[in-house]
């Protein structure tokens, strides 16, 4: 039996592997990757590599073994995830895995924004498969904001159409720690975890946090959805993805990403990473 992480060279998957290696022997961890060369550092740590591609179901035949505990890290290509996830679920069922954990979205069936649609379908596919499962419904990543600091600092403004809505974000490392805990601990089969940061904050508070970290004046410009769409497209964001980001902001305005269940802190055994800490690190690295 191995603990298997799919998408193991991605931003979240790599952090899950790192967290697992801090708690279990490397020989008990396997990484499903598309590019073996890209995964060289993981292999050097003693992790077994299993080369497979979500888009090529035939390559997933040997990705899993009976009794494996598997983390399905959701695909990053919006619009293609249902067939990709279906291929993984079918391969996991055929192999007879002992656990399939899935990184969905905060709110599950109650999340009515477009980015959540494929996650909801995937959860139902897992339920229909009959596989022993764990749903890890991740909230918004703080890095979704801090990785985009350059235009904020250039223009002195955070621009969004989120109104006064709040976001209970956490870092990728926080979510990775929760996933590792669910894969290595007991009592998680059939569990549904609503994972989010301990504190929900508004975009105005985010702007103030960036201002405090930089010593510069940073404002929050709340704009209509259509205006935000135009700004994003004008900045080079593909129109379909810009529409998804605008739709997420609409969801934030309705506090759909503001839930603070405490599940994340309970799984990891520590508080979630404070917004100010992540912003300070991003500013230092900018």
- List the chain pLDDT tens, one digit each, 286 residues: 899 999 999 999 999 999 999 999 999 999 999 999 999 999 999 999 999 999 999 999 999 999 999 999 998 788 889 999 999 999 999 999 999 999 999 999 999 999 999 999 999 999 999 999 999 999 999 999 999 899 999 999 999 999 999 999 999 999 999 999 999 999 999 999 999 999 999 999 999 999 999 999 999 999 999 999 999 999 999 999 999 999 999 999 999 999 999 999 999 999 999 999 999 999 998 7
User: Comparing C-alpha atoms, which of 209, 273, 254 is closest to residue 106?
Assistant: 254
Q: What is the pLDDT of residue 286?
A: 72
Label the pairing between strands 201-202 and 166-167: antiparallel
Structure-block tokens of residue 140: 């918004």
Tell me the three state secondary structure of residue 171. coil
Number of helices (H), then strands (E), in the chain: 12, 11
CA distance to 14, 153, 158, 233, 258, per residue, from 208 (Å): 31, 12, 10, 26, 18
Under a CB-based contact definition with an 8 Å cutoff, are residues 115 and 247 in contact? yes
Q: Nearest 5°: phi and psi at 5?
A: -115, 120
Tell me the three state secondary structure of residue 197. coil
Q: Nearest 5°: phi and psi at 210?
A: -65, -40
Q: Can you tell me the distance from the alpha carbon of 15 to that of 4, in angstroms, rounded to the nearest whole number?
A: 13
Residue ranges of domains in the chain, CATH in brackets: 3-138 (3.40.50.720), 140-171+196-258+273-286 (3.90.25.10)
């Amino acid at each position: 039996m191995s603990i298997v992480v799919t998408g193991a060279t991605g931003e979240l998957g790599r952090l899950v592997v790192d967290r697992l290696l801090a708690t279990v022997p490397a020989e008990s961890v396997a990484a499903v990757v598309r590019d073996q060369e890209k995964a060289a550092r993981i292999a050097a740590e003693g992790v077994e590599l299993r080369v497979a591609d979500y888009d090529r179901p035939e390559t997933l035949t040997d990705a899993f073994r009976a009794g494996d505990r598997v983390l399905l890290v959701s695909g990053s290509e919006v619009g293609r995830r249902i067939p990709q996830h279906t291929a993984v679920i079918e391969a996991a069922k055929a192999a007879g895995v002992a656990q399939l954990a899935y990184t969905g979205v905060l709110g599950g069936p109650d999340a009515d924004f477009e980015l959540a649609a494929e996650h909801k379908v995937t959860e139902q596919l897992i339920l229909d498969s009959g596989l022993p499962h764990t749903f890890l419904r991740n909230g918004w990543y703080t890095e979704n904001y801090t990785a985009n600091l350059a235009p904020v600092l250039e223009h002195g403004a955070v621009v969004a159409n989120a109104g006064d809505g709040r976001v209970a974000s956490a870092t990728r490392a926080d979510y990775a720690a929760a996933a590792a805990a669910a894969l290595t601990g007991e009592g998680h089969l059939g569990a549904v975890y609503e994972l989010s940061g301990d504190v929900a904050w508004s975009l105005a508070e985010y702007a103030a946090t960036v201002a405090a970290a930089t010593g510069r004046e940073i404002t929050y410009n709340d704009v209509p959805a259509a205006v935000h769409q135009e700004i994003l497209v004008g900045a080079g964001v593909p129109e379909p993805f810009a529409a998804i980001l605008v739709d997420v902001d609409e969801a934030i305005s309705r506090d759909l990403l503001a839930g603070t269940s405490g599940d994340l802190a309970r799984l990891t055994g520590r508080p979630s990473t404070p917004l100010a800490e992540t912003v300070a690190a991003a500013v230092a690295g900018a």
